[in-house]
A and B are shown apart, each in its own frame.
Chain A
């Protein structure tokens, strides 16, 4: 699956519930990213991590949390504080050097029910 795996493919969340989206890569990339994709708005950065045990907020971090305990893994938790979580979530990874070509996962579609 291109070296970066997201799961699950579809996820349904009830109001007030926290959910965690998984992202795992075996590309030996240092940097990992989470983006949210809404129709007509492109990809918006939620969080990113350039090294293990370190991460930074992106443009729309409110209501989300992440961890980076292992190089291979960068899970995203959508908390109940995120008021409009229904979207397509994409995880990506890249090397830390000057070649910034991202490899994307296949995405998770989250729906609030």
Chain B
């Protein structure tokens, strides 16, 4: 089955700096890659996603890049703010067969004011 690895497990940045979180996946059939943000005590919320026919997608301060050949994808947050502090999860799934998302282990991002 699919296996998603996520790095780093913790990340501390200064306010205004950029943050990058990286994930690799094992199943070349996976074609959908979402990112979720989970604030303390709250439910995960979808922040951005990308499909395999696209190499990069941006939404204001966040962007996701995908390299299907290398089977890795990354989340980029620019101009970080204290409210970006949360746990971020990457995930992967495919259109056919098992469609349920396989999640990475999470990255705890701390933005220092």
A in complex with B = yes
B-binding residues in A (CB < 8 A): 2, 31, 33, 35, 40-45, 48, 50, 56, 58-59, 90, 98, 100-102, 104-107
Interface centre among B1, B100, B102 (most CB of A within 10 A): B100
- Interface residue SS majority, chain A: loop
Q: Say yes or no: A104-B106 contact (C-beta < 8 A), given A43-B89, A56-B98, A98-B95.
A: no
Asked if B46 lies at the interface with its beta carbon under 8 angstroms from chain A, I say yes
Which residue of chain B lies nearest to A48 when distances are taken between CB atoms in the complex? B100
> Total A-B pairs in contact (CB under 8 Å)?
53
Residues in chain B near residue A44, CB distance under 8 A:
103
Neighbour of B43 across the interface among A45, A59, A90, A101, CB < 8 A: A90
Which B residues, 85 to 109, have Cβ-Cβ distances below 8 Å to chain A? 89, 93, 95, 98-106
Q: Show the binding face of B for A, using Cβ within 8 Å.
A: 1, 6, 9, 32, 34, 36, 42-46, 49, 51, 89, 93, 95, 98-106
Q: Are A58 and B100 in contact (CB under 8 A)?
A: yes
Say whether B43 contacts A100, CB under 8 Å. no
State A41–B43 Cα separation when bound (angstroms).
16
Identify the closest chain A residue to B107 (Cβ). Answer: A42
Do A42 and B104 have beta carbons less than 8 Å apart?
Answer: yes
> Given the complex, which residues of B lie within 8 Å of A42, measured CB to CB?
6, 89, 103-106
Of A41, A102, A107, the residue contacting B105 (CB under 8 A) is A41
Assess whether A100 is in contact with B93, with CB atoms less than 8 Å apart: yes
